[in-house]
Amino acid sequence: MADEAAKLDEALRRQGDTVRRLKQEKASPEEVAEQVAKLLELKAQLGTEEGKHKFVLKTPKGTRDYNPKQMAIREKVFNIIISTFKRHGAEVIDTPVFELKETLTGKYGEDSKLIYDLKDQGGELLSLRYDLTVPFARYLAMNKITNIKRYHIAKVYRRDNPAMTRGRYREFYQCDFDIAGQFDPMIPDAECLKIVHEILSGLQIGDFLIKVNDRRILDGMFAVCGVPDSKFRTICSTVDKLDKATWEDVKSEMVGEKGLSREAADRIGEYVQLHGGLGLIEQLLQDTKLSQNKLAREGLGDMKLLFEYLTLFGIADKISFDLSLARGLDYYTGVIYEAILLQPQNAHKEEPVSVGSVAGGGRYDGLVGMFDPKGRKVPCVGVSIGIERIFSIMEQKVEASEEKIRTTETQVLVAAAQKKLLEDRLKLISELWDSGIKAEMLYKKNPKLLNQLQYCEDTGIPLVAIIGEQELKDGVVKLRVVATREEIDVRRENLIEEIKRRTCQP
Amino acid sequence: MADEAAKLDEALRRQGDTVRRLKQEKASPEEVAEQVAKLLELKAQLGTEEGKHKFVLKTPKGTRDYNPKQMAIREKVFNIIISTFKRHGAEVIDTPVFELKETLTGKYGEDSKLIYDLKDQGGELLSLRYDLTVPFARYLAMNKITNIKRYHIAKVYRRDNPAMTRGRYREFYQCDFDIAGQFDPMIPDAECLKIVHEILSGLQIGDFLIKVNDRRILDGMFAVCGVPDSKFRTICSTVDKLDKATWEDVKSEMVGEKGLSREAADRIGEYVQLHGGLGLIEQLLQDTKLSQNKLAREGLGDMKLLFEYLTLFGIADKISFDLSLARGLDYYTGVIYEAILLQPQNAHKEEPVSVGSVAGGGRYDGLVGMFDPKGRKVPCVGVSIGIERIFSIMEQKVEASEEKIRTTETQVLVAAAQKKLLEDRLKLISELWDSGIKAEMLYKKNPKLLNQLQYCEDTGIPLVAIIGEQELKDGVVKLRVVATREEIDVRRENLIEEIKRRTCQP
């Protein structure tokens, strides 16, 4: 029953996506009306279905459980990311899952509507964290820290429209690395990009590209194109949609919804279609209009420095200076970047996973000052790895390869060859545990030997320590190698050493 | 300013505690009135204080950040716990931080009022998880899993009265290990106790005792003492307070608030003061009243079996069969247990940390059935390690020992002996990172050598790779050992191997 409801729920979600897509693509009114009718029908069906049982057995919308196999993949991904952060000398911190509501207020611009609030049950008004950057800035200001390099891996929460097959959730992990402090220009910024490069290379999920831009170049461009100051941030949000929408759609939002003049939009259009490397930077430094603007000149100068450092790091070929990159959040003040995968690795699946951005970040020099009672600033630059999409790709890779993933690390099963040996098994397994051996036994008084061996086959346990009456008399244990079916008698006092030797554990 | 408010907030909290304690201890009305007046005065003060600045810079009530030092301790504790769970062959799962509100409804008895609800922003009604056990049961029912051994480490949320100096928070970690499935009696139950024993021994936080009881023995006892069926659960909650309150207080709550007869309470009083081992179990099996009750007989029979297995595991001396142990939660159906520390290790501090329970759990055979549409049961037994208190103790231990804890793993600092070597440093550090060496450099164009060496002293980096003009000409790097100040020239092509050799990294 719960399955039925879940299926319906999924169908409903897909139908909703279809309707939204058609509207976005400006499909004919007839076509939209037809799909909306289908949507309403599904909704009605779900209503009856839900009435049939006491409650729906599911996780909240946009969230999921991780089963042991998914956790094994997740741990593998985390290990690669954490070891990269540690290689760069990062410390680690943690903050609460919720913050005072006012801590988050005014930090996310148009995205603020996606924040989860807690119910007012008396006491403070709280909200779930929306990212790890604002809590980090609050942490710095609260503890008067002016200099730190830290990572933070935790779940964040956004009441967004979930698209779970594409790895977009309402509860999802962020893996953030940030460098706070007053330093010489572009050195920490370049290290953040090096880190993204190391992580995406290490994960082996295919080719990637890191787009780079600078908020100062964007703002300078807006100024010389004739965008009024008050519209910089909202036009910036619109430019940010260029990775998913066409220029025509973006332009029509600028002119129609945001009230920008057609001429200003056209001038922006000429710039945001540019992307390249050092050559483009040089070209824009010579651009008669843009080079007049102080902010743009500063941004372009730093961009040039950044590319020099990236060349020394040997990663400039994966970086593209792209004037269409804007990033949605309000708090960025300088360099911004976003990494995208170029060829999703899913040749075996019919429907390709469409993966977009897998990492993003930038410089935010003003955020900590917003929390400091005296407005003291702490310059910061950082990057956030969006790993849900990476999980999705890794999961599909594993499924396609039919590789068997072990979900436990058990080295040996303690088994009995005859009945009435429960006490002896308990004594033996206790000895193994106390010596640090990873061991299991079946929770039955008198399990059949065949079932015990089958359990090892199923779960990938490599060794079986078998005791029988004869073995107990002789002071030995029969050690069986599951893969080869080889069996040898090992003296009880040598058993632990023998298991360690055979499972390569020191 | 924020500090002022935090101090006032803390004073207010303490004053609140004082008033509550006086009321509990039934102090004279004059005394209570005096303290209440103080409380109101503090509240008024806080009001004005808060008006002075825009917002309070703090984490929500009952929560805290973890700084890098605390994280280092936390990782050490987690490693011990996780390796124990893995030694016993556990898989790992994860669930969302919130559940549908109805998933949590009716599972926690009197504690339900402590659940955090999310604001109704349209869509599903959600609540933050209160423990990891109910989400686990929901996960099993939803995925029709009848057999699993898993651990889950995550934060849970309770709107309780925090006492943060004693390690009691509103957001805190639980480390849960559970065995689900139909097995022969007491084998998985005994393993859970073995795990608690291994973890508390491994953490080296002093002597401990694990109290054990059984809900069937409690219910049998209530029945023979004359408690009406309908009052079993609520009387159970009252008995659970015996670890903090005297028998007189508990009795007065039973009679006064819960409406139990004075005679029934007195009869309960005789039982709940008993504790012991196998001897006590035998004695109760002979008890003329208790042995008449079927539930109690079953519970006592299983308790005897449990002690036999614990003896085989060699841990029976740390286990106490204690009739006063009740555990607050509604869902337990069989064996229950709770581990307490006997001697907090804090000889160096003036005010001792009062630590209570550090682990608890039991058998809950009915919980999964509450989620299954057909009511199919999956027997479960598990244990939850409450690590916040353990963190508090570990933190105090570290502080007292003045042991220096490193918060990064950096092996080498890339340093320059002269000016204008930024590009060479960037090139060298990039080579090191790409070879897996953990390396840092100062983010300055021309840092002073002394400052670079000082940074190593401060953060515990063991090696410095120094380049100067001469070294670059000669194709070498000067490798300095921070501790001994020894310096040797290493050929550039041998540097990585030399660093690995000296920092024992394979």
Among all residues of chain A, which has the CA nearest to that of B372? Answer: A57
pLDDT, residue B448, reads: 97
pLDDT, residue A21, reads: 73
Q: Computed over its alpha carbons, how large is the radius of gyration of chain A? A: 29
Band (pLDDT 50/70/90 cuts) for residue A329 is: confident
Mean pLDDT on B164-171: 82
Statement: residue B22 has pLDDT above 60? yes
Asked if the C-beta of B5 comes within 8 angstroms of chain A's C-beta atoms, the answer is: no
Q: In the block, which residue shows the tokens 């159970």?
A: B236
pLDDT, residue B279, reads: 95
Q: What is the ipTM, given to two decimal places?
A: 0.85
Asked if the C-beta of B86 comes within 8 angstroms of chain A's C-beta atoms, the answer is: yes
Size of interface A-B (CB pairs under 8 A): 240
Query: Going by DSSP bridges, is the β-strand pair B91-92/B148-157 parallel, antiparallel, or unpaired?
Result: parallel
pLDDT tens per residue, range B404-462? 889 999 999 999 999 999 999 999 999 999 999 999 999 999 999 999 999 999 999 99
pLDDT, residue A17, reads: 75
pLDDT tens per residue, range A105-140? 988 887 899 999 999 999 999 999 999 999 999 999
**Phi-psi group of A220: left, alpha or beta (phi > 0 → left; psi -120 to 50 → alpha; rest → beta):** alpha
Asked if the C-beta of B2 comes within 8 angstroms of chain A's C-beta atoms, the answer is: yes
Asked if the C-beta of A26 comes within 8 angstroms of chain B's C-beta atoms, the answer is: no
* Chain B residues touching A64 at Cβ < 8 A: 96
pLDDT, residue A43, reads: 61
**Record: contact A99-B60, CB cut-off 8 A:** yes
Asked if the C-beta of B375 comes within 8 angstroms of chain A's C-beta atoms, the answer is: no
How many residues make up chain A in this entry?
Answer: 506
CA distance A266 to A9: 43
Asked if the C-beta of A480 comes within 8 angstroms of chain B's C-beta atoms, the answer is: no
Asked if the C-beta of A407 comes within 8 angstroms of chain B's C-beta atoms, the answer is: yes
State the alpha helices, DSSP H only, in B211-277: 215-225, 232-239, 247-252, 262-272
**Record: contact B118-A121, CB cut-off 8 A:** no
B272-298 core/surface letters (b: 16 or more CB in 10 A; e: else): beebebeebbeebeebeebeebebbbb
Residues 101-120 of A with CB under 8 A from B: 102-103, 116-120
**Record: contact B408-A57, CB cut-off 8 A:** no
* Chain B residues touching A440 at Cβ < 8 A: 88-89
pLDDT, residue A288, reads: 93
CA distance B244 to B326: 13
Who's near A247: CB < 8 A, 6+ residues apart? A269, A272, A273
* Chain B residues touching A367 at Cβ < 8 A: none
Asked if the C-beta of A313 comes within 8 angstroms of chain B's C-beta atoms, the answer is: yes
Helices B495-502 and B422-434 cross at an angle (nearest 10°) of 60
Closest CA to B4 of B63, B41, B40, B57: B57
**Record: contact B150-A102, CB cut-off 8 A:** no
